Structures are given as structure tokens and as C-alpha cells.
């Protein structure tokens, strides 16, 4: 299971779902000068440029930056590629929906 990355893919995607469900981070599409995606940790916003690259791939990449704050760019790219190779159709659909929900979610936390 570990050899083809399916187990690791499952765990990473679960971590991304958790991040989506927590409702603290939002997603915004925007034109970015250089990057395809970027995170703003202070405002908790993931910016994605949908005119470049593959949006789901970028979304997962930026989520991993949020989840593993200290991980090197090269390692995040490696994980992103692994996810894109192993993600199932159902997982991809669910993640796209979760990403869309992060664009419209209104913060209700009062604390
Ligand atoms: Zn990155």
C-alpha cells in the first residue's frame, strides 16, 4: 500500500479535508504576478491563480504549506506530484467541492 503512495495520499488528503472543514482558512482566486499560489498566514487566505497551472494541484500544494509550515518547497512539490498521480476521481471531486466551499464560507466563529 505504501509503495504506490496510496496510503500516504489518503492521509494527506484527509489532512487537507480537515483543514477545509476547520473553516479558518479561505480561498480566493486572483491573478498573481509570479506564483501560481500563495498563502497569507495572517489573514488565513490561500490565493490561487486559476489562469496558470492546474487549480486542484495548486490548491493541494498551498494546503500542504499551511499544514506543514516548515517544509521545504522541493518536498511540497514532491508531495503535490505524488497526490496528483494517486488521487482518485472521487477524492478529486470532493476536494474541488471543499475548495469551492472555502471561497464562499462566512466566518461564524465568535472567539
Ligand atoms: Zn510552494
What's the confidence (pLDDT) of residue 15? 97
Nearest to 67 by CA among 29, 10, 18: 18
What's the confidence (pLDDT) of residue 105? 62
Q: Are 63 and 50 in contact (CB under 8 A)?
A: no
Distance 91 CA to ligand 1 centre (A): 21
The percent of the chain in helix, strand and coil, each rounded to the nearest 5, is: 55, 10, 35
- As given in the structure block, the three cell numbers for residue 19 are 483543514
Distance 110 CA to ligand 1 centre (A): 31
- Which helix or strand (DSSP H or E) is residue 48 part of? strand 45-48
pLDDT in single tens digits along all 111 residues of the chain: 455 678 899 999 999 999 999 999 999 999 999 999 999 999 999 999 999 989 999 999 999 999 999 889 999 999 999 999 999 999 999 999 999 999 986 555 554
What's the confidence (pLDDT) of residue 109? 57
Distance 73 CA to ligand 1 centre (A): 5
Distance 28 CA to ligand 1 centre (A): 16
Distance 109 CA to ligand 1 centre (A): 29
Alpha-carbon 73 to chain mean position: 14
Distance 53 CA to ligand 1 centre (A): 13
Amino acid at each position: 500500500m505504501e509503495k504506490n503512495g496510496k496510503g500516504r495520499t489518503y492521509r494527506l488528503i484527509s489532512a487537507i479535508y480537515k483543514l477545509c472543514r476547520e473553516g479558518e482558512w479561505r480561498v480566493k482566486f486572483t491573478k498573481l504576478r509570479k506564483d501560481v499560489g500563495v498563502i497569507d498566514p495572517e489573514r488565513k487566505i490561500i490565493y490561487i491563480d486559476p489562469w496558470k497551472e492546474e487549480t486542484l494541484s495548486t490548491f493541494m500544494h498551498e494546503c500542504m504549506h499551511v499544514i506543514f509550515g516548515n517544509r521545504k518547497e522541493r518536498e511540497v512539490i514532491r508531495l503535490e506530484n505524488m497526490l496528483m498521480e494517486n488521487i482518485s476521481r472521487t477524492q478529486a471531486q470532493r476536494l474541488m467541492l471543499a475548495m469551492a466551499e472555502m471561497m464562499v464560507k462566512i466566518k461564524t466563529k465568535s472567539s
